[in-house]
Chain A
Amino acid sequence: MSDNDLNVKAGLRESATFDAATMTEIRRAAETGIYDIRGFGAKRKVPHFDDLLFLGASMSRYPLEGYREKCNTQVTLGTRFAKKPIVIETPVTIAGMSFGALSANAKEALGRGASACGTSTTTGDGGMTPEERGQSTKLVYQYLPSRYGMNPDDLRKADAIEVVLGQGAKPGGGGMLLGQKITDRVAQMRTLPKGVDQRSACRHPDWTGPDDLAIKIQELREITDWQVPIYIKVGATRTYYDVKLAVKAGADVVVVDGMQGGTAATQEVFIEHVGIPTLAAIPQAVQALQEMGMHRKVQLIVSGGIRNGADVAKAMALGADAVAIGTAALVALGCNHPKWDAEFKKIGSAAGYYDDYHEGKDPAGISTQDPDLMKRLDPEEGGRRLANYLRVLTMEAQTLARACGKNDLRNLEPEDLVALNVEAAAMARVPLAGTTWVPGQGGY
């Protein structure tokens, strides 16, 4: 019996407002005078895909045979302006994560896994590494405010460019790679001295606002001779307006990252208190695209808390063209694996709870630049694990789509969904299960 269980049995009552985690944080703040910085994404419970259910086919709908009839998973991204759109075989892509935040082996493993499944991976703040380019058949190059490592040669090597305005874990915030993770190689790629905290700006240095962004996108297109798609990534906040402005600015693809999206290092208060859940963002984005007549013409990628094929299918049923995974991909590689529990405990954490990615001490060898720790992740084995996981996500999503009678994941629709509670029904704009009630619609 745990200490907590014993306390409950003894009649001791924990405060819901000042629970153990809250008190620990107050004591930590009082002792250090510094806010808590951590990685991972929001840990608070918010309305999510688990609050939605599919309405499988029965008398009124005709299902497809699960093991015999085709269900297409291929998606083409960047059909609006690019001469060479990206074709991905599964609608699950790998989100942007930097070399620096992650080890070179981890980046290579992500590339191997994604390539094995015919999908894309994405660079992060810090530039493009040869390992990553070499192992990624489809590589999206992020264009970030810091412009660390940004150069036109890599820009032209990319299969797509993602202009990052923000991310779900910290919309409106920049980043910080603490000095302890700055090796010679990371420092050289970012043009900064070794051991210095590397701040990533929250705003781009040479444009402000959507009108400027339209010109910036034209510049990127001119430099790459209009070959590759240009994505715009936003953290989910005022999603309806942001998506409209992104389309107006000329995006081929819009990426919306909900508040459950991960980060390598941000203030805890930022991760938990800024942004909106992924579930709430998708209908706003789709509405914006539909009102502009651009749904399916400008593709929508959704990220933030995607864990299984049901999440993939639900995101697509709400109108996304594809999803991106970050945290889940790292878990597939071995992040927070129980086999390292004893070592997690040595650094004050535990397997399944570790989120101090910024400290560079990851026992799993993923969010670190320590040469000895890095060796713990075999990029080939990591790539194999990620590929397995991506295949499972794809098959699970197909299973649900066929049950709904759909021969293409993108044929899933909101009508296939109901919500388990009022909050999810209101956010996802689907009926509460067993009713025709969509909160906020029909005048009530």
Chain B
Amino acid sequence: MKTLDLTTTSLREINQALHQQSSEATEREWLITGAKGDHNIACGLDAAISVDIKGHAGYYCAGMNKSAHVVVHGNAGQGVAENMMSGTVRVKGQASQSAGATAHGGLLVIEGDAGARCGISLKGAEIVVGGNVGHMSCFMAQAGALVVCGDAGDALGDSLYETKIFVKGSVASLGADCIEKEMTQENLDYLTDLLNRAGVDEDPKSFKRYGSARSLYNFKVDNVSAY
């Protein structure tokens, strides 16, 4: 394992060392210490490496991740794993707003709570939140899945496209065009598998499923009150 200390090594040097693994893999396991809310740690990774970050991460930690397995042993700031393409990102603490924004693939696990707009414009990634999510989560989300083991804030799934949403606790309110949907056996099987992959011990049957009513998919003047 290679250890890099953010208190003595610049972010640029650390990210450059991690990026070099995409062309020449010299070390599979990396430990980044001394994180005190630094922004953009381990963003743009493009190799099947393991990166453990000790401390709190700032904005856009593991942004646009591909293939890598990143664990934040603390809290994560805004936009953790934003636009992730593949791989996994795990936050042991809480995550701020826009977690997993626009992510296309991979798995994001937040063991604590996530702030507002979790999974905004999600494009195919899977997000599992151990605690609660804030308002406007999955706003305009297009594909993929969000699992909330706690409660969801206001306007969940507003203007939703095809993302699947599962919530165990309460939902403060549903956003425009987001409705509760039947939990089929296929959905249960999928949720069971996703919870297992996320390492979260919850009963899939205790969740409700939400999705798009698809009534706003094409502009109609009759829907003007929804806009």
Contacting pair B39 A215 (CB below 8 A) = yes
Closest to A190 in B: B142
Q: What is the CA–CA distance of A273 and B104 in the complex, to the nearest angstrom?
A: 36
Collect the chain B residues with CB atoms within 8 Å of residue A218's CB.
39-40
Q: Which residues of B contact A147 (CB under 8 A)?
A: 83, 101-102, 121, 123
* Interface membership of A15, Cβ < 8 A: no
Stretch at the interface among A191-199, A237-245, A316-324: A191-199
| B120 x A155 contact (CB < 8 A) | no
Q: How many residues of A contact B (CB 8 A)?
A: 34
CB distance from B62 to the nearest CB of A (A): 11
With A191-B124, A206-B82: A215-B161 Cβ-Cβ less than 8 Å: no
- The closest CB in chain A to the CB of B162 belongs to A193
Q: How large is the interface on B (under 10, 10 to 19, 20 to 34, 35 or more residues)?
A: 35 or more
The residue of chain B having its C-beta at the shortest distance from the C-beta of A179 within the complex is B218
Q: Are B15 and A192 in contact (CB under 8 A)?
A: no
A176 to B227, CA, bound (A): 13
Instruction: Say yes or no: is A331 at the interface (Cβ < 8 Å to chain B).
Output: no
Contact between chains at A219 and B60 (CB < 8 Å): yes
Which residue in A179, A192, A207, A224 is a CB contact (below 8 Å) of B44? A224
Contact present for B217 and A197 (CB under 8 Å): yes
Which residues from 2 to 61 on chain A have a C-beta closer than 8 Å to any C-beta of chain B?
32-34
Q: Tell me the bound Cα distance from A33 to B39 in angstroms.
A: 48
Q: Closest CB-CB distance, A253 to chain B, in whole Å?
A: 21
**Which residues 65-83 in B have Cβ within 8 Å of A in the complex?**
66, 78-79, 82-83
Q: Are A223 and B101 in contact (CB under 8 A)?
A: no
Chain A, Cβ-Cβ closest to B16? A225
Asked if B85 lies at the interface with its beta carbon under 8 angstroms from chain A, I say yes
A212 and B83 form a contact (CB under 8 A): no
List residues of chain B with CB within 8 A of the CB of A371. none
Q: How far is the CB of B125 from chain A (nearest CB, A)?
A: 11
Nearest CB on B from A416, distance (A): 43
Residue of A nearest to B78 (CB): A206
Asked if A178 meets B219 with Cβ closer than 8 Å, knowing A147-B102, A151-B104, A191-B142, the reply is yes
Of chain A, the residue at the smallest CB distance from B82 is A206
Q: Which residues of B contact A196 (CB under 8 A)?
A: 161, 217-218
Interface string of B112-155 (1 = CB under 8 A from A): 00000100110110000000000000011011000000000000
Tell me which of B11, B44, B162, B219 contacts A197 (CB under 8 A).
B219
Whether B159 is near chain A, meaning CB under 8 Å from some CB there, is: yes
Residues of A within 8 A of B78 (CB): 206-207, 212
User: Which of B11, B66, B85, B117 touches A205 (beta carbons < 8 Å)?
Assistant: B117
Interface assignment of A337: CB less than 8 Å from any CB of chain B: no
Chain A window 173-210, contacts with chain B (Cβ cutoff 8 Å), 1 for yes, 0 for no = 00010110000000000111101110101000111000
A150 within 8 A of B: yes
Given known A-B contacts A191-B142, A193-B162, A212-B78, A223 and B64 have beta carbons under 8 A apart: yes
| Given A176-B219, A215-B58, A222-B12: A205 and B98 interface contact (C-beta under 8 Å) | yes
How far, in Å, is A199 (CB) from chain B's closest CB? 7
**B32: interface (CB < 8 Å):** no
- How far, in angstroms, from A147 to B219 measured CA to CA in the complex? 21
* Contact A215:B64 (CB < 8 A) given known A151-B83, A205-B98, A223-B44: no
A206 and B161 contact, Cβ closer than 8 Å, known pairs A152-B66, A192-B142: no
Alpha-carbon gap, A192 to B162, bound state (A)? 8
Most chain B C-beta atoms within 10 Å of own C-beta, residue among A191, A206, A215, A216: A206
Could you list some 19 contacts between A and B, CB below 8 A? A33-B221, A34-B219, A151-B83, A151-B104, A155-B64, A176-B219, A191-B123, A193-B161, A196-B218, A205-B82, A205-B102, A206-B101, A206-B117, A215-B40, A216-B59, A219-B63, A222-B15, A222-B43, A225-B19
**Interchain residue pairs A-B with the least CB separation, the first 3:** A223-B44, A206-B79, A206-B98
